[in-house]
Amino acid sequence: MQSTTRVARRSGGLGDRSGSWPLWPRWLLWASLGVFALGLLLPASPAGSPVPGWLAIIRDWVPVLVCWLAASRVGFRRVQVTLAAAALTAFALGNSSYSAATSSGMDSQFPSTAVVGYLAFYVLMLAALAALVLRQLGGRPSSVLVDSAVGSLGAAAVLAVLLSPILDSAARGAPSAAAVVGVAYPLLAMALVAAVVGIAVAPGLQLGHGWLLLLCGLLVFTAADVAFVLMELGGETALGAALGGGRALGLVLVATWVDGSVRSAGTVSRRVTGAWTLMAPAFATVAALGVLVVGTQVPVSATAIALAGVTLVVAAVRTHLAFHELVKMGDLRRQALTDDLTGLPNRRALYADVPERLAARRPAALLLLDLDRFKEVNDSLGHDVGDRLLIQVGERLSAQLRTGDLLARLGGDEFAVFLDNARRDQAVAVAAKLRAALAESFTLEGIALQADVSIGIALSPDQGDDLKVLLRKADMAMYKAKAARSGHHVYVSVDNSHGDERLRTLQELRVALRDNHLVLHYQPKIDLTSGAVHGVEALVRWRHPVRGLLYPEAFLVLVEEAGLMHWMTEVVLEKALDQAAVWRAAGQPLTVAVNLSASSLVDADLPQRIIAMVAARGLPTSALMLEITEEFLMADRERARAILTELSAGGIRLAVDDFGTGYSSLAYLRDLPIDELKLDRSFVIPMAGDRRAAALVASTIHLAHSLGLRMVAEGVEDATAYDALVSHGCDHAQGFFLSKALPVEILDDWLEDRRLQALDTPNSAASPAQFGIPGPSARATIEAQTRATV
Ligand code: C2E
Ligand code: CA
Ligand code: CA
């Protein structure tokens, strides 16, 4: 249950004077009580009064004085203080008149005018309590009033049993003045005590500083006073002195409360706990039932029975109210801890639950899951599809967990799993199980979507027993898993060092995209039969303000992870097509190849946008070629086919990049509108020293041709490979042996040199040396030039 402690500060019109309010009134009160106690030890006065007159005056009037001082202290602005002062005054007046009467020998006059003062005390004190409660009630729920009422009624029912003989006899007697007093007195006293109990049990009330003093004071006073008056009525005087002492103590306590209540600048609330909510009705119900049970055994007054009945009814109402409040609280609590979309526990729930479990210091694991490229699903297929994907992901994940494991959605595409009682091996096994559960594609709106996930794992207590720390470590491990595409990764301390750097790079990357810091270098593709250059591949670089020129391997993973690939592809396409238009205008119609990442697959509008971009520059569609990886083809075959068909229908040529590294079968490729295969450099580079590698390349070229596809060899680094490729009938070649990727100006020079040399040696088609392909030293120069220009 939640507990709240509210500290309400009220100036109460005290201003800054409250701090300097002297302590002497308080000392005076307690001194008067001491004097009174000592006075009681003196022999009784001859007049038969239980308390000597002068002592009674000290006892009655010192509290009055203190109360009025306090009331004036706050300019009589606190009604309850003024009423309490008036109540004590009424009592003092009544008592003084009684003392005067007894000392003058008119003792048989009881009930006398003194009784009016006594009764007035109760009426005024009840009014003071009412003012106190009403002042507190502003803005509080009605249940507080009901609590108070039910407490009062329960107490009244019990008191009515105790007072039964008096109530009954008074009711039966003749309606004399004495009988009226005999009934009114215990009833008023009962009402006061009941009110005190009601206030004490109402959890929502703030009664100001020292409220217990008031409650005790009133109880003590009332008990002694009622006993005293009843004794007087019955002509008894035996316990007079002791009861006088009780009245004195009660008055001093009440006056101390009054004094204290104007002394403290603010009111301090009681602790209200959920358990308290049902306390008052529970106690009242027990009390009322007790009264009814007693009523079956001994005769009790009808008033007591009636009060018990009403108490039960009101207590039932209150319980009903409390129940509703609790249900509402429970609802709110549940809502606060549940993720709206998936119905799974949310981050708050994780924080509510896990710290306690970590405190046990049993081996436990925290897994942080982050879907790969979810943002692109959202961006291209819409939030609705994204949401439904998340729901399904949540369902698949929870199906894998045991009871006792906690799965929470932290927000976005981030989930957390807390495994109690799990060591490293179990955690890794669960991670593998979760990944396997998501590996199968999801079908949403007829589209098969892949939701790969990267999982970071942190272990407790080894790597911390604080949830925040574990979350941070799991997060770092998760990024590690993402970057390495390893699926999952268990945190090790070195993972820590890269977190900040990663964040900074991400920020810089956004700036780079916005402020045009990305540049393209172009690597020529050479036609191996004619030696001509018909096309180039555009390769992106980042001109970093501090770190210099960065190559794709330094930032592409981050671009993917941050969901910026969309944007980057757009930027690269714009630049590449602009450049293609420039070349075309200069009479050099080169085809520019642009790389598409696998995540482009989720972008259904991409084909139309690309076609429009080409058209907008007045370029023929043959000016652009798109290089896609096998990963792109295999992620979702149907979507890949749809996108490629649309592009191809628009006239754009397509190449399969890094061919041979993936799992696409040639049979599958045959059915796609593909123009070119780019044999991965891992096959080409070993060709020079490895005959088997060369034979493999040869048969692959052959196969491609049999399917009507052009073959391009990547990574041609030396003359041996070059010659072998020529002899095996490879169509195109690309590689450092021919040229690195170059900035436009250098490439233009390189192309011009080539053209001139081709003119010089018109009949030497196949040998690269005859084309004047730059040797190693010349390449070093190009490299130096390249660095200088970027
Ligand atoms: P890729 O598409 O396979 O591009 C060819 C990579 O091989 C380029 O590296 C190129 O510089 C390098 N290369 C060229 N000739 C040789 C050679 O003879 N030997 C060796 N060892 N390597 C050679 P780069 O520019 O670092 O690009 C790396 C990868 O980054 C590219 O591989 C491509 O997958 C990706 N990439 C580059 N630009 C873009 C882009 O604009 N968009 C996307 N989505 N990916 C890009
Ligand atoms: Ca490529
Ligand atoms: Ca490649």
Q: Which residue is it, tokens 């004077």?
A: 17
> Are the C-beta atoms of residues 592 and 522 closer than 8 Å to each other?
yes
| Ligand with smallest separation from the Cα of 688 | 1
Q: Which ligand is nearest to the CA of 628?
A: 2
pLDDT, position 112: 67
- The CA 637 to ligand 3 mean position distance, Å, reads 20
Report which bound ligand comes closest to the CA of 678.
3
Tokens (6 digits) for 289: 């039932």
Look at residue 766 in the predicted model and tell me its pLDDT.
44
Indicate whether 166 pLDDT > 80.
no
With tokens 């041979």, the residue in question is 660
Residue with CA nearest ligand 1 atom 4: 539
The amino acid that residue 260 corresponds to is G
Closest ligand 1 atom, residue 737 Cα: 18
The pLDDT score that the predictor gives to residue 577 is 98
Q: Which of 16-25, 91-100, 642-651 has the lowest mean pLDDT?
A: 16-25
Q: Which of 333-342, 416-425, 670-679, 752-761 has the lowest mean pLDDT?
A: 333-342
In the numeric block, the tokens 């002195």 are attached to 241
pLDDT at residue 364 in the model: 95
Taking Cα atoms as reference points, which of 602, 727, 606, 715 lies closest to residue 658? 715
Asked if 143 and 322 count as a contact pair (C-beta separation under 8 A), the reply is yes
Q: Which atom of ligand 1 is nearest to the CA of 565?
A: 44
Distance (Å) from CA 537 to ligand 3 centroid = 10
Q: Does the pLDDT of residue 391 top 60, yes or no?
A: yes
- pLDDT digits over 55-108, tens only? 778 888 999 999 999 898 888 888 888 999 999 999 999 888 877 777 666 554
Q: Identify the band that residue 1 occupies on the pLDDT scale cut at 50, 70 and 90.
A: very low
The tokens describing 93, both together, are: 């007046």
Q: Whose CA is nearest to atom 21 of ligand 1?
A: 715
CA of 54 relative to ligand 1 center, distance in Å = 109
Shortest-distance atom of ligand 1 to CA 551:
26
Distance in angstroms (rounded) separating the CA atoms of residues 454 and 449? 16
Say which amino acid occupies 203: P
Say how many C-beta atoms besides its own lie within 10 A of residue 58's C-beta. 18
Distance CA 85, CA 387 (A): 67
- Residue to probe by mutation, ligand 1, list 555, 564, 595, most atoms within 8 Å of CB: 595
Which string of b and e fits 271-299 if b means at least 16 CB within 10 Å?
ebeeebbbbbbbbbbebbbebbebbeeee
CA 102, CA 336: separation in Å to the nearest integer? Answer: 70
In this prediction, residue 437 carries a pLDDT of 93
Query: Quick one: which ligand is closest to 655's CA?
Result: 2
**Atom in ligand 1 nearest the alpha carbon of residue 596:** 44
Atom 35, ligand 1: residue with shortest CA distance: 552
The residues, any chain, with a CB within 8 Å of residue 493's CB and separated by 6 or more, are none
d(CA 34, CA 28): 10
The alpha-carbon radius of gyration of the chain (Å, integer) is: 47
Give 683 Cα–ligand 1 centroid separation in angstroms.
15
pLDDT (tens digit, 9 = 90+) per residue, 588-612? Answer: 999 999 999 887 877 888 999 999 9
pLDDT computed for residue 270 by the predictor? 43
Write the residue with the smallest CA distance to atom 8 of ligand 1: 539
Dist. CA 491 → ligand 3 center (Å): 32
Q: For residue 521, give the ligand 1 atom closest to its CA.
A: 25
Can you tell me whether residue 237 is helix, strand or coil?
A: coil
As a whole number of angstroms, the distance between CA 762 and CA 743 comes to 28
Instruction: Tell how far the Cα of 711 is from the centroid of ligand 2, in angstroms.
Output: 13
Backbone angles phi, psi at 451, to 5 degrees: -120, 75
Give the closest ligand to the alpha carbon of residue 523: 1
Prediction pTM value: 0.46
Instruction: List C-alpha distances in Å: 498 to 492, 493, 505, 509.
Output: 12, 11, 10, 16
**Per-residue confidence band for 789, with pLDDT thresholds at 50, 70 and 90:** very low
Q: Whose CA is nearest to atom 10 of ligand 1?
A: 741
- For residue 600, the CA-to-ligand 3 centroid distance in Å is 17
Q: Which atom of ligand 1 is nearest to the CA of 627?
A: 2
Instruction: Confirm if 204 and 147 have CB atoms less than 8 A apart.
Output: yes
Q: How many Å lie between the centroid of ligand 3 and the Cα of residue 786?
A: 21
Mapping DSSP onto H, E and C, the string for 460-521 reads ECCCCCCHHHHHHHHHHHHHHHHHHCCCEEECCHHHHHHHHHHHHHHHHHHHHHHCCCEEEE
| Residue with CA closest to ligand 1 atom 7 | 715
Q: Are 408 and 425 in contact (CB under 8 A)?
A: no
State in Å: Cα 684 to ligand 1 middle.
Answer: 15
Give the ligand whose atoms come closest to the C-alpha of residue 538. 1
Grade residue 335 by pLDDT with cuts at 50, 70 and 90: confident
Ligand 1 atom 43: the closest Cα is on which residue?
Answer: 595
Q: By C-alpha distance, which of 522, 546, 551, 517 is closest to 534?
A: 522
Ligand 1: which atom is nearest the Cα of residue 716? 18
Residue 748 · residue 561 · CB < 8 Å: no
Contact of 202 with 280, CB cutoff 8 Å? yes
For 196-232, how does the pLDDT look when each residue is reduced to its tens digit (9 = 90+)? 877 777 665 655 557 788 888 888 888 888 787 777 7
User: What tokens were used for 203?
Assistant: 């959890």
Question: What is the per-residue pLDDT across 663-707, written as a single tens digit (0 to 9) for each?
Answer: 566 667 778 899 999 998 888 988 887 888 888 899 889 888 888
Atom 27 in ligand 1: residue holding the nearest Cα: 552
Answer whether residue 568 shows pLDDT above 70.
Answer: yes
User: Which residues touch 289 (CB under 8 Å, ≥6 apart)?
Assistant: 308, 312
Give residue 554 CA to ligand 1 midpoint distance, Å.
Answer: 12
Q: Which ligand has its closest atom nearest to the C-alpha of 625?
A: 2
User: Which residue type occupies 726?
Assistant: V
Q: What's the gap in Å between 525 CA and the centre of ligand 2?
A: 11
Q: What are phi and psi of 517, to 5 degrees?
A: -95, 0
Cα separations in angstroms, 273 against 285, 323, 326, 480: 20, 14, 12, 46
User: What pLDDT is attached to residue 612?
Assistant: 96
- The pLDDT of 35-52, averaged and rounded, is 65
CB 231 within 8 A of CB 42: no
CA-nearest residue for atom 45, ligand 1, is 595
Q: Which tokens belong to 150?
A: 């039910």
Q: For ligand 1, atom 23, which residue shows the shortest CA distance?
A: 715
Atom of ligand 1 nearest to the CA of 552: 30
Binding pocket residue ranges, ligand 1, CB within 6 Å: 523, 539-540, 551-553, 556, 572, 595-597, 627, 657-658, 681, 714-717, 734-736, 741
Contact 265, 12 (CB under 8 A): yes
Closest approach atom of ligand 1 to CA 717: 18
CA of 405 to the centre of ligand 1 (A): 44
What is the pLDDT confidence band of residue 527, given thresholds at 50, 70 and 90?
very high
Q: What pLDDT, on a 0 to 100 scale, did the predictor assign at position 147?
A: 75
- The alpha carbon torsion through 733, 739, 740, 741 (nearest 10 deg) reads -80
* Mutate-to-test residue for ligand 1 from 539, 722, 740, highest number of ligand atoms within 8 A of CB: 539
Going through 619-733 in order, the beta strands assigned E by DSSP cover 624-629, 653-659, 676-679, 710-713, 732-733
Q: 744 C-alpha vs ligand 1 centroid, how far in Å?
A: 16
Ligand nearest, relative to CA of residue 679: 3
Mean pLDDT of 632-653: 87
Residue 62 Cα to ligand 2 middle (Å): 100
Dist. CA 640 → ligand 2 center (Å): 17
Give residue 206's pLDDT.
56
Q: Which of 339-348, 363-372, 654-663, 779-788 shows the lowest mean pLDDT across its residues?
A: 779-788
Tell me the CA–centroid distance for residue 655 and ligand 1, in Å: 14
Lowest mean pLDDT among 68-82, 290-304, 617-631, 766-780: 766-780
For ligand 1, atom 41, name the residue with the nearest CA. Answer: 540
Angle at the Cα of 703 from the Cα atoms of 689 and 528, rounded to 5 degrees: 60
Which pLDDT score is estimated for 87?
93
Q: What was the pLDDT predicted at 475? A: 92
Q: Whose CA is nearest to atom 11 of ligand 1?
A: 741
Closest ligand to residue 521's CA: 1
Task: State residue 86 phi and psi, 5-degree precision.
Answer: -65, -40
DSSP string, 431-465: HHHHHHHHHSPEEETTEEE---EEEEEEEETTT-S
Residues whose CB falls within 8 Å of the CB of residue 590, separated by 6 or more in sequence, listed in order: 533, 534, 535, 536, 580, 583, 584
pLDDT of residue 534: 94
- Determine contact, residues 773/737, Cβ cutoff 8 Å: yes
714: nearest Cα among 781, 788, 655, 648:
655
Residue located nearest, by CA, to atom 33 of ligand 1: 595
Q: Whose CA is nearest to atom 15 of ligand 1?
A: 735
Q: Are 349 and 416 in contact (CB under 8 A)?
A: no
Cα–Cα distance measured from residue 148 to residue 279, given in angstroms and rounded to the nearest whole number: 11
What's the 119 CA to ligand 3 centre distance in angstroms? 103
**What count of Cα atoms within 13 Å lies in the side-chain half-sphere of residue 466?**
4
How many CB atoms sit inside 10 A of residue 270's CB? 17
DSSP symbol at 300: -
549 - beta bridge partners?
543
